[in-house]
A and B are shown apart, each in its own frame.
Chain A
Amino acid sequence: MPRSITPLLWLLFSAGGTVAALLFPVHVLLTGLAVPLGWLEAPSYESVRGLVRNPVARLYLFVFISLPLFHWAHRFRYTLYDGLQLKHLTELIAVLCYGTAILGTAMTAYLLWNIT
């Protein structure tokens, strides 16, 4: 039985980083800039809801939100530890970072499971 979970945390970090690198730029462009600035028409509520109901879309959104949160948790934890030299708070930082990621994942799972 593997002793440490650091390899798992690194795998989540890598997976999340890859998801974010490949998919986030286009989504930020569309959702964050193109639609609000009026370059594109916002899809209607019903069409978005219909799209999200699709099980493939649910899986996509789960991976889209959850993995990058773990990517942030791992990276930010080390940034605080090294960059700000907060060594004495190392356990607190780890709990806050991974805890937030777990919370976000749980909320995402709950919403995606229950949406009709």
Chain B
Amino acid sequence: MQPTVALRVARYRPEQESEPTFQTYEVPFRKDWVVLDALNYVKDKLDGSLSFRWSCRMGVCGSCGMKVNGSPKLTCAAFLSDSMPGPIRVEPMDYFPVVRDLVVDITDFMEKLKKVKPWIIRKEERPLAEGEYRQTPDELDTYKQFSMCINCMLCYSACPIYGLEPSFIGPAAIALAQRYNMDSRDEAARERLEILSEHDGIWQCTFVGECTKVCPKNVDPAGAIQQYKLMGAAHWLRSLLLPWGTR
């Protein structure tokens, strides 16, 4: 008799209900299965109407973020065996509007990513004839960690400030901005600082630190934000004490 585990999945079908409900499915328990495998089993064999996002199933695309037993996780990295005994609760990520079942709307996140100008900006582009921009391993090391973000939004789902203040620009966007600020090829740190010093920028963060805890790629967005605050404060002091030097 094959062992099974109960999966308590949040359902939301706006055409027939105004609030989410839970539906329980009995899925096979396999040692090597992750929650995503269980969800796909449900969709294939038990209930084809269940909606959820997924893609690479190996932790690089950032599509399958959901809450597993209350914690934001990538379902392709959340082993069933870690949540035994069941029932295992699967819900959509917090702090995003739920479109259907486990699918949330991510437009807000997409707009915030664009806001921080996540591309190399130079005062003057180098002509092709001069060759490539060169970077030492140490220069790469200063921003590499922040470049590992897969845009999975688990950090937004963990950040209570984002939950309380949806206009907060959020951990991933700030880490992304810092990734470019620290890149030796980029020259737009001041420009980004102006954007992120606004009311809903870095100063909203109170260093809860949960974003770093849930990040599946060890980006450490909380660290990025605190570094950014120090940078912003230093810049503020410099522009106060040496106004001519900040042009």
Chain A residues in the interface with B (C-beta under 8 A): 1-2, 4, 6-8, 10-11, 14, 75, 78, 82, 85, 87
Contact residues in B for A10 (Cβ distance below 8 Å)? 203, 229, 232-233
Which are the 7 A-B pairs with shortest beta-carbon distances? A7-B236, A7-B233, A6-B203, A11-B233, A2-B236, A2-B239, A78-B206
Q: Taking CB as reference atom, which chain B residue is nearest A75?
A: B206
Contact residues in B for A78 (Cβ distance below 8 Å)? 206
Q: Taking CB as reference atom, which chain A residue is nearest B232?
A: A7
Total contacts A to B, CB within 8 angstroms? Answer: 36
Given contacts A2-B239, A2-B240, contact A82 B160 (CB under 8 A): yes
Q: How far is the CB of A61 from chain B (nearest CB, A)?
A: 25
Q: Chain A: interface secondary structure?
A: helix
Docked complex Cα distance between A61 and B232 (Å): 29
Contact residues in A for B239 (Cβ distance below 8 Å)? 1-2
Contact residues in B for A1 (Cβ distance below 8 Å)? 239-240, 243
Which of A4, A11, A14, A87 touches B197 (beta carbons < 8 Å)?
A4
- How many chain B residues have a CB neighbour from A under 8 Å? 16
- Type the 1/0 row for B211-247, where 1 means its CB is closer than 8 Å to any CB of A: 0000000000000000001001101110110010000
Q: Taking CB as reference atom, which chain B residue is nearest A78?
A: B206
Contact residues in A for B203 (Cβ distance below 8 Å)? 6-7, 10
Docked complex Cα distance between A54 and B165 (Å): 48
B161 and A82 contacting across the interface, CB-CB below 8 Å: yes
B164 within 8 A of A: yes
Contact residues in A for B243 (Cβ distance below 8 Å)? 1
A-B contacts, 9 listed (Cβ < 8 Å): A2-B236, A7-B197, A7-B233, A7-B235, A7-B236, A8-B236, A11-B236, A78-B206, A82-B165
Docked complex Cα distance between A14 and B232 (Å): 13
Contact residues in A for B161 (Cβ distance below 8 Å)? 82
Given contacts A1-B239, A78-B206, contact A6 B197 (CB under 8 A): yes
Q: How far is the CB of B156 from chain A (nearest CB, A)?
A: 16
- Type the 1/0 row for B160-178, where 1 means its CB is closer than 8 Å to any CB of A: 1100110000000000000
Q: How far is the CB of A77 from chain B (nearest CB, A)?
A: 10
Q: How far is the CB of A52 from chain B (nearest CB, A)?
A: 31
Q: How far is the CB of A14 from chain B (nearest CB, A)?
A: 8
Q: Taking CB as reference atom, which chain B residue is nearest A14?
A: B233
